[in-house]
Amino acid sequence: MIPRIKNILYATDLSKNSAYAFRYAVNSAQKHDAKIHILHVMEALPSAAEGLITQFIGEEKIRQMRKEMGEDMIGRIRERLRQFAEKELKRDPKTLKKVVSVDVVYGSPAAEILRKAEEMNADVVILGTHGKGVIGHAFLGSVSEQVLHRIRRPVYIIPLPEGETDITLGEI
C-alpha cells in the first residue's frame, strides 16, 4: 500500500533562503492534500549562561520575555507566509490554508523537531540544511544530522542554495 501523507512538519531556522525548503513543503501539501505544521526552535542558552541571567533578572522575567519573543516570532513568520503566498501562490491562494499551525519553541532544535514529529504524528518531516562540507558534517548541518540519526519517520533534507533566491522566510 502506498503511504498517504496527511501531516507535514516543516522545521525552519528562518535563515536566508529557508523559503526554498518551504516550497518543497508546499509542493508536497498540494500533491497529497496534506496539512503543513511549521516549527521554529529558538535554541536555549547553555545552562551556565541561563543560570547567570536568571540570577540578575529572575525566572519569572525570563519566562515573560520568552513568551513575548515567541508571540512576536509567530507574528513575523505569519507575515512572511503572507508575502510568500502573494508571490508564489497567487494562482492557488487556498494552498496557504494548508498551513494549520505555526509553533515557536525554546530548546534543542533536534530534540524539539523529534518531539513535535511524534506529538503531531507527522507523516514526513521537511528541513533545509546549510551544508557544512566534508570535514564539518558530511554535507549535512548538525541539526539535520541529529534528526536523521534518531527519527523513525521519512525526512526530506533540502540543501539550501548559497546564492540569493527571490524570496526568503528568514531575516526576520
In tens, the pLDDT along 62-82 reads 889 888 988 888 888 888 877
CATH number for the domain that contains residue 154: 3.40.50.620
Verdict on whether the full-model pTM lies above 0.85: no
Asked whether residue 152 is domain-assigned, the answer is yes
Give φ, ψ of 77 to 5 degrees: -65, -45
- Domain that residue 122 falls in: 7-159
Asked whether residue 167 is domain-assigned, the answer is no
Asked whether residue 17 is domain-assigned, the answer is yes
Split into its structural domains, the chain has a count of 1
Asked whether residue 117 is domain-assigned, the answer is yes
* The three grid cell numbers given for residue 89, joined into one nine-digit string: 501562490
Asked whether residue 165 is domain-assigned, the answer is no
Asked whether residue 55 is domain-assigned, the answer is yes
Asked whether residue 170 is domain-assigned, the answer is no
Give the separation between CA 141 and CA 168, rounded to whole angstroms.
19
pLDDT at 25: 95
Confirm if 70 and 63 have CB atoms less than 8 A apart. no
pLDDT at 44: 74
Q: Is pLDDT above 70 for 134?
A: no
In tens, the pLDDT along 86-128 reads 777 777 878 888 999 888 888 899 999 999 999 999 999 999 9
CB-CB neighbours of 113 under 10 Å: 26
